Chains A and B, each alone.
Chain A
Amino acid sequence: DAKTTQPTSMDCAEGRAANLPCNHSTISGNEYVYWYRQIHSQGPQYIIHGLKNNETNEMASLIITEDRKSSTLILPHATLRDTAVYYCIVRVVGGTGFQKLVFGTGTRLLVSP
C-alpha cells in the first residue's frame, strides 16, 4: 500500500489560501489520491480526488506533481469552519475491488481570525 506523509499541523489566517502538502512517493500508476477532512469528532468528509491531472471543485483544488510523488490540497479562502484534520489518502483496493480507506494521522489545520 502506498504510504502518505503529511505535516502534523499547519496554521492559516482566515481569508487566506491554505495549502496542505502530501508526499506519496511510492504511489502506483493506477492509484488515486483522495482528500478527506474530519471536523472535531464528526464523520470524515470527502473533499476531492484525482489521478494525475489537477482537479477543482466547489470546496478545493488538488494539485498533483507530474511525477505523482506529491500533491497539494488548496483551500482558496479558508474560513474558521475549515479548521479540521485533513487526510491525504492513496486509494487502497480491497481484495475484491472495494475502496478501503486507510487514514493516517493527517494534518491538523487551524484557521485563525
Chain B
Amino acid sequence: EAQVTQNPRYLITVTGKKLTVTCSQNMNHEYMSWYRQDPGLGLRQIYYSMNVEVTDKGDVPEGYKVSRKEKRNFPLILESPSPNQTSLYFCASSLQAMGPQHFGDGTRLSIL
C-alpha cells in the first residue's frame, strides 16, 4: 500500500531534549516536505526536499533541521525543542513538483 509513515505519532518531551521525527515513503517520490499545523494558522511549510541531498527552507524553518540521505526518508530534527514548537506535524511527498501531495497521519508533539 502506498503510504507516508511518520513516527512517533505522539510525543511529550521537555525543553532542550533533542528529538527526531522520522518520515518514510514507499512511492519512490522525489519531493518531500514537512509542515506544521497550529490552530488559526493553517498548515505552514517548515522544510522541503526535491531529491537526495537537496533541501531548502520553507516558511518557518527556525529551530528545525532536516536531512535527505535516502530517497525514501526525510527526518525532521529538533536540536533543542522549545514550547513554541508544540504542534501537529505532517510529512508529505509527491512524485512531481506540481503533483498531488500525499500526507502522513501526523505527529503530535508537546514540548513542556
Contact = CB atoms under 8 A, between A and B. Distances in A.
Nearest to B31: A98
A94 B56 contact: yes
Nearest to B39: A105
Interface in A59-113: 91, 93-106
A106 B99 CA distance: 20
Could you tell me the dominant secondary structure of chain A's interface residues? loop
Given A94-B56, A100-B58, A104-B42, A46 B106 contact: no
A43 interface: yes
B104 interface: yes
Interface string B39-50: 010111100101
Interface residue tally on B, bucketed by range:
20 to 34
B20 to A, nearest CB: 19
A100 B56 CA distance: 11
Could you tell me the dominant secondary structure of chain B's interface residues? strand
B49 to A, nearest CB: 8
Most A CB atoms within 10 A — which of B4, B40, B103? B103
Contacts of B35: 101
Contact of A99 (B44, B59, B94): B94
A43 B33 CA distance: 13
A51 to B, nearest CB: 10
Interface of B: 4, 31, 33, 35, 37, 40, 42-45, 48, 50, 56, 58-59, 88, 90, 92, 94, 97-106, 108
Interface of A: 32, 34, 41-46, 49, 91, 93-106
16 contacts: A41-B106, A43-B4, A43-B90, A43-B103, A44-B43, A45-B103, A46-B100, A98-B33, A98-B97, A99-B31, A99-B98, A101-B92, A103-B42, A104-B42, A105-B40, A105-B42
